[in-house]
Structure 1
Amino acid sequence: MAPLAALLAVLLPLLLLVACTAPAAPPPAPPPPTPAPQPSQIVVAVDDLGAGFNPHLLAHQSPVTTALAGLVLPSVFRPDVNGNPQLDKSIATSAEVTAQDPFTVTYELNLEASWTSNAPIAAEDFVYLWERMRDEPGVADAAGYRLITDVRSRAAGKAVDVVFAQPYPAWKTLFSDLLPAHLLKDAPGSWTGALANGVPASGGPFRVVSVDRARGEVVLTRNDQYWDTPAVLDQLVLRRLGGTALADGLGVGDVDIALPTPDDSVRTALGGLQPPPRIQTAPEPVVTELGLRTDGGPLADTRVRQALKGLVDRDAVRTAAAPDALAADSFATAPSLPGYASTEPTNRPDATALLTSAGWTRDDEGRWRDGGEPVQLIIGAAAERPTDLAVAKNVAAQLDAAGIETTVVAPTAVELFGQTVVPPTPPSTTTAAPPTSGAPTTATPTATPSSETSAASASTTPTATTAASPTPAPPAGVSVDLVVRPRVVGGDPATELASEYGCDDPANPNGPPGRPAVPTTCSSALQPLLDELIADPDGSNPGDTREAVEKLLWSQVPALPLFQPVSLLVSTASADSGTGVGPGPLTTGPLTGAQRWTAPAR
């Protein structure tokens, strides 16, 4: 028994230990997943995305381009609430005139300022913008850049000396919306092509992450590499919407702010919203004008251009194409700016007498002829700009009623504003243009379009009187006699006048191109006045000089100002509380300061 007792003495404690041990508890269930926070977002509805996003090209002028430039691209100076330029110290710690002979401006750049590609914002960006504005056609507001003779880099590119041919009081308007030279300078077609569908690098509080033209949407996100105060918003979305879709989006909270072009359908749709949104008006930083060719063709005679000034009813054009726009009757000042006043002469030209004195005659059907041949004027409007197309068709209808044959062509904006010969593309029948009254059916010119047409290979216009030449014939194309185009406004008026109506280079009229498809004459009477105005806009006699410029422009008629477009600025109450959105400075628009906005609760 002793061995059994010993065995029990060993096993009994073990059995008792097993019996008293509780089964292991199951592992705790994992906590439910926490939903990822939704990014803070503001959605802005727009009519369209525009032709591209280079703010220095006439072809790319649009409210979307203005918005992106202000939020993504670096500028040395930015306008304050009154439109006066103020140094942006996130880009330049100082900018001042450091010499008078030669006139020199020195910029000390912020050492932290850099592109999202990690390249510094530096002197090469100044050089790139200067060279492109000096040399490229179809640029906006370039006269100040053409006065620059040199851009010098110091301190590893973080100090820049800009040398001018003459004193330039408006130098603070230069080097806004700098572009990333290190990405663009060696890329073929970079000036127009690289910014056609986005902005390749950011130097501001936001960056462009996607452009979806099919959906009509541009998405900006906070630039996490930004060295200054970061944006409050995670995302800012610009979305193409109109009519009832726009109103529905505002009503259910999918859209916070809208920038539609005013028309009856938009007003009707907005009128049904409860609670009613806040509606303001936001003038755009352009004036739409009708440029007249002065260097050749049927309009080379000043009397003919004066006659057209009498034949074209500009009020009727505005009413048909942009009824809510501001009538423009001055060359120097935009209608929305303080101090604007009409400078248009009160007398209406006698068109018949002027055309007759220029050698034009009427045939038995009342149609005008020149040298025995029927007059045929080509009117150009950019295919991507529906309001411009409406203007062109209305002008064509008026001239047709006056006995002048016309043809409307609609090449791309880049072609129209950057080439002297353009493809004779007829307006698309599917283009969504505002309604016009009495617009004629447009005919395709006898010349056929060519995909090879380019400014480089089409330096002359084929006409019946062109002499035979052993050189190859240029591709099929036409020279435009009248062009509907935007003229930038809101900056320095003297610079804007010299950019649009002066010589490209007063000392060298045959120098680098800078003109859109309808050039102006390098006027021996006008140029000295423009030189005086741009050199001393606030001098002892600026009013008299500007008045003389206005009189000459109305007399020589290189263009006819038509109207300043406006957008409606629509915002919901919840968006208002977090943004305080308003029209903003003219040159930067309603989205100015969006980096400080907060998103409404969804």
Structure 2
Amino acid sequence: MTARRPFRALPALLLAGLLALTACSAEPQPAPAPEEPVPTEAVGAPTRVTVGVDGLGPGFNPHLRSDQSTTTTALAAITLPSVFRPDEQGNLRIDPTVATSAEVTSQDPFTVSYELNVEAGWSSGAPIAAEDFVYLWQQMSSQPNTVGAAGYREITDVRSRAAGKAVDVEFDQPYPHWQELFANLLPAHLLKDAPGGWTAPFQNGLPASGGPFRLMQVDRLRGEVLLARNDPYWDVPAVADEIVLRAIPPNTLPTALSSQDIDMALPDAAPDVTAALDVLARSPEPPTVQRAPRPLVQQLEFRSEDGPLADPRVREGIAALLDRNAIRERVSPDATPVDAFGAAPSDPGYTATAPDGAPARQDPVEAAAALTEAGYVRDADGRWALGGRPLSLVIGAGASRTQDVEIARVVAEQLEAGGVGATVVAPPAPDLLTSDTVAPVTPSPTTTPAPGAGPAPGGETPSQAPASPTASPSPEAGGGSAVAVDVVVVPRPAYGAIGPRLNSDYGCPPDGVGDDLPGTSCFPALQPLLDELLTGPEDPAVIGEAERVLWRQLPALPLYQAQGLVVSNRQTDESTRVTPGPIATGPLSSAKDWGEPEGSAEERSGDDEDPAN
């Protein structure tokens, strides 16, 4: 095996330009107890790849909307097993390290059969088996706050064969998108009986690995995640001994930052980042900068089942008060505007479906007409009220999702300027998407969480300060009473087939699954269209009609798709050949081979190739 070489750091000037970028001043959270390391055989010089990220996020379950982040995507790509993975063009290919075959074996009932790699196992020693398929199916079909649940809800049964190393998945009807399912499997043997097993174990770690790397420690005090080569991994082993994901704090002095050795950085394309890179581009050894869209669309989701926004005319009025371009310019000016509910600008053939005027565009006249039609009147102070009760909305954003919090602040400012009361609340991110009411805590205007901040055992503790100088708490927010959130800032996925995306995000949920939460909708005119797209071809005419209904009903308001950067220097490029990777799995998709000289990965793979694969 080729001798390993230590990675070299980015130049100090690049560090100073990149690492002073995303503010943090919240009180740090205690670090969890580290997982006991597995001894590794020393081969040549040890290698460590240190990757700078914007933050660690609230948790690491890739199936939870509240946990979506660059860090979560990176961890899932190298620690969790998937039956199919996207190639560089985004086409799904079977991963032979997990399954040797997956095919439709019956049309009545529609059944997909999986033959699992007999060597595939979790770092805990348990096999990757049918029980992991059952667990993921049951959780995805019954829990709120999930990403891409619609396909799992089409499954009627999951059966085990061959001592758990073969799986038959039966569907209610033919399901053309079945290859998208059972990505990022989770260790059922550790989670199925654990208290809070779907969320709690992921707040500060991953219970076990089924990939080439293993998560060893999450240190939120330092803002670092440490991964080590997963020695029990049954396929070609990773080259690097360790990968460190390091949150990049913005207010650290450049002299302190220059001592931090990072090999690459994955920041958002924020103006201060791109300005620093423009300067460095004229240096003798400029960094390599690759741009790629993030796999998420930021949007506002409305509580349309009850409360003031249950009236579609009020939703229309609120949307017409908001300037989406101004929100994007304030929060993420390098982002791409999104004018559709299903597709994202990164999708091939993306077409905007938004109407020319309100509610997709700010129009105070149309906003006033919609609110007046709903029975609201504007008083002498310019405040909208119904029956003498002022219209006041609660805007929610996850406390540790700093960009979401900033969006919420800007929305509150715009609503206040339009005569609508607004209060920003920032509970723990999972609470926001799983509870019908939340604690009325709001972020301080001058305080944002540290990049490494996330849930502590007692939950996050935002300040009680008002959301903005103009925002005034609603009566319900007083006295510490729990409040219902009317508008929530939350991401939606920007990859996968359009039918499952639309159905997962805007379709009627199963009974009892978050049917009273913000963003939960059920419209009689829409659901038949979504059902047709879920199980049939992606008919442009049906998609177009579904988009027209969504713009009329407004369960949500799309905002933008952020752009990310992959920044590396010449030495890092030679050792990693890093690329942005497929949009769904990101730059760490190729991390198993980082540290290999050109051609060595292919040689190792050929020497160790299993004929069954």
Quick one: distance in 1 between partners of 2:577 and 2:43?
29
Q: Deviations over 1:148-168 (max 9, x none)?
A: 111111111111111111111
**Equivalent position of 1:213 in the other structure:** 220
Q: Does 1:584 align with 2:581?
A: yes
Q: Deviations over 1:294-318 (max 9, x none)?
A: 1111111111111222111101110
Whether the 8 Å CA contact 1:247–1:269 is kept in 2: the answer is no
The alpha-carbon deviation at position 512 of structure 1 amounts to 3.8
Counterpart residue identity of residue 574, structure 2:
S
Counterpart residue identity of residue 177, structure 1:
N
Counterpart residue identity of residue 527, structure 1:
Q
Quick one: distance in 2 between partners of 1:60 and 1:191?
12
The alpha-carbon deviation at position 279 of structure 1 amounts to 1.2
Whether the 8 Å CA contact 2:114–2:167 is kept in 1: the answer is yes
**Equivalent position of 1:50 in the other structure:** 57
**Equivalent position of 2:29 in the other structure:** none
Whether the 8 Å CA contact 1:326–1:336 is kept in 2: the answer is no
Quick one: distance in 1 between partners of 2:477 and 2:308?
22
Question: CA 1:299/1:244 → structure 2, altered by over 3 Å: closer, same or farther?
Answer: closer
Q: Does 1:431 align with 2:451?
A: no
Instruction: Give the 3-state SS of the residue equivalent to 2:101 in structure 1.
Output: strand
Instruction: Give the 3-state SS of the residue equivalent to 2:104 in structure 1.
Output: strand
1:494 to 499, 508, 524: 499
Q: Does 1:386 align with 2:402?
A: yes
Counterpart residue identity of residue 413, structure 2:
A
**Equivalent position of 2:137 in the other structure:** 130
Structure 1, 237-246 or 332-341: larger mean CA deviation: 237-246
**Equivalent position of 2:151 in the other structure:** 144
Quick one: distance in 2 between partners of 1:488 and 1:116?
29
Instruction: Give the 3-state SS of the residue equivalent to 2:215 in structure 1.
Output: strand
Q: Deviations over 1:259-298 (max 9, x none)?
A: 1123343334444544221112232111010111111111
Quick one: distance in 2 between partners of 1:244 and 1:401?
32
Instruction: Give the 3-state SS of the residue equivalent to 1:220 in structure 2.
Output: strand
Greater relative contact order: 1 or 2 (C-alpha under 8 angstroms, separation 6 or more)? 2
For 1:39-438, what aligned pairs fall within 5 Å after superposition?
A: 39-243=46-250, 254-273=261-280, 274=283, 275-348=285-358, 350-428=366-444, 429-431=446-448
Question: CA 1:270/1:557 → structure 2, altered by over 3 Å: closer, same or farther?
Answer: same
Whether the 8 Å CA contact 1:325–1:565 is kept in 2: the answer is yes
Whether the 8 Å CA contact 1:418–1:516 is kept in 2: the answer is no
Quick one: distance in 1 between partners of 2:253 and 2:218?
20
Whether the 8 Å CA contact 2:392–2:474 is kept in 1: the answer is no
Question: CA 1:253/1:440 → structure 2, altered by over 3 Å: closer, same or farther?
Answer: closer
Question: CA 1:98/1:173 → structure 2, altered by over 3 Å: closer, same or farther?
Answer: same
Whether the 8 Å CA contact 1:46–1:242 is kept in 2: the answer is no
Question: CA 1:289/1:265 → structure 2, altered by over 3 Å: closer, same or farther?
Answer: same
Question: CA 1:284/1:449 → structure 2, altered by over 3 Å: closer, same or farther?
Answer: farther
Question: CA 1:60/1:225 → structure 2, altered by over 3 Å: closer, same or farther?
Answer: same
Q: Identity percentage over the alignment? A: 53
Instruction: Give the 3-state SS of the residue equivalent to 2:496 in structure 1.
Output: coil
Instruction: Give the 3-state SS of the residue equivalent to 1:568 in structure 2.
Output: strand
Instruction: Give the 3-state SS of the residue equivalent to 2:308 in structure 1.
Output: coil
Quick one: distance in 1 between partners of 2:119 and 2:531?
38
Point out the structure with max Rg over C-alpha: 1
Whether the 8 Å CA contact 1:138–1:515 is kept in 2: the answer is no
Whether the 8 Å CA contact 2:488–2:519 is kept in 1: the answer is no
Question: CA 1:516/1:74 → structure 2, altered by over 3 Å: closer, same or farther?
Answer: farther
Whether the 8 Å CA contact 1:49–1:240 is kept in 2: the answer is yes
Question: CA 1:198/1:397 → structure 2, altered by over 3 Å: closer, same or farther?
Answer: same
Q: Deviations over 1:23-45 (max 9, x none)?
A: xxxxxxxxxxxx99642111100
2:546 to 546, 549, 557: 549
Quick one: distance in 2 between partners of 1:301 and 1:92?
49
**Equivalent position of 1:7 in the other structure:** none
The alignment covers a number of residue pairs equal to 531
Instruction: Give the 3-state SS of the residue equivalent to 2:82 in structure 1.
Output: coil
The alpha-carbon deviation at position 186 of structure 1 amounts to 0.4
Quick one: distance in 2 between partners of 1:174 and 1:582?
25
Question: CA 1:335/1:249 → structure 2, altered by over 3 Å: closer, same or farther?
Answer: farther
Instruction: Give the 3-state SS of the residue equivalent to 2:313 in structure 1.
Output: helix
Counterpart residue identity of residue 531, structure 2:
D
For 1:493-572, what aligned pairs fall within 5 Å after superposition?
A: 493-505=498-510, 511-514=511-514, 517-538=517-538, 542-572=539-569
The alpha-carbon deviation at position 537 of structure 1 amounts to 2.5
Q: 5+ residue gaps in structure 1? A: 1-34, 451-474, 506-510
Whether the 8 Å CA contact 1:425–1:449 is kept in 2: the answer is no
The alpha-carbon deviation at position 92 of structure 1 amounts to 0.5
The alpha-carbon deviation at position 449 of structure 1 amounts to 8.8
Whether the 8 Å CA contact 1:137–1:419 is kept in 2: the answer is no
Question: CA 1:353/1:335 → structure 2, altered by over 3 Å: closer, same or farther?
Answer: same
Question: CA 1:248/1:561 → structure 2, altered by over 3 Å: closer, same or farther?
Answer: farther
Whether the 8 Å CA contact 1:378–1:406 is kept in 2: the answer is yes
Structure 1, 41-50 or 258-267: larger mean CA deviation: 258-267
Q: TM-score, normalised by structure 1?
A: 0.84
Counterpart residue identity of residue 357, structure 2:
N
The alpha-carbon deviation at position 421 of structure 1 amounts to 1.0
Question: CA 1:151/1:593 → structure 2, altered by over 3 Å: closer, same or farther?
Answer: same
Quick one: distance in 1 between partners of 2:184 and 2:250?
32
Whether the 8 Å CA contact 1:533–1:546 is kept in 2: the answer is yes
Whether the 8 Å CA contact 2:413–2:470 is kept in 1: the answer is no
Instruction: Give the 3-state SS of the residue equivalent to 1:99 in structure 2.
Output: strand
Whether the 8 Å CA contact 1:146–1:504 is kept in 2: the answer is no
The alpha-carbon deviation at position 371 of structure 1 amounts to 2.2
Counterpart residue identity of residue 477, structure 1:
A
**Equivalent position of 2:28 in the other structure:** none
Quick one: distance in 2 between partners of 1:552 and 1:494?
15
Counterpart residue identity of residue 545, structure 1:
V
Whether the 8 Å CA contact 2:328–2:335 is kept in 1: the answer is yes
Counterpart residue identity of residue 48, structure 1:
G
**Equivalent position of 1:29 in the other structure:** none
Instruction: Give the 3-state SS of the residue equivalent to 2:440 in structure 1.
Output: coil
Question: CA 1:202/1:36 → structure 2, altered by over 3 Å: closer, same or farther?
Answer: closer
Counterpart residue identity of residue 304, structure 1:
V
Quick one: distance in 2 between partners of 1:244 and 1:421?
34
Instruction: Give the 3-state SS of the residue equivalent to 1:365 in structure 2.
Output: coil
Pairwise CA RMSD of aligned residues? 2.3
Instruction: Give the 3-state SS of the residue equivalent to 1:593 in structure 2.
Output: helix
Question: CA 1:516/1:330 → structure 2, altered by over 3 Å: closer, same or farther?
Answer: farther
Question: CA 1:530/1:343 → structure 2, altered by over 3 Å: closer, same or farther?
Answer: same
Q: Does 1:594 align with 2:591?
A: yes
Counterpart residue identity of residue 580, structure 1:
R
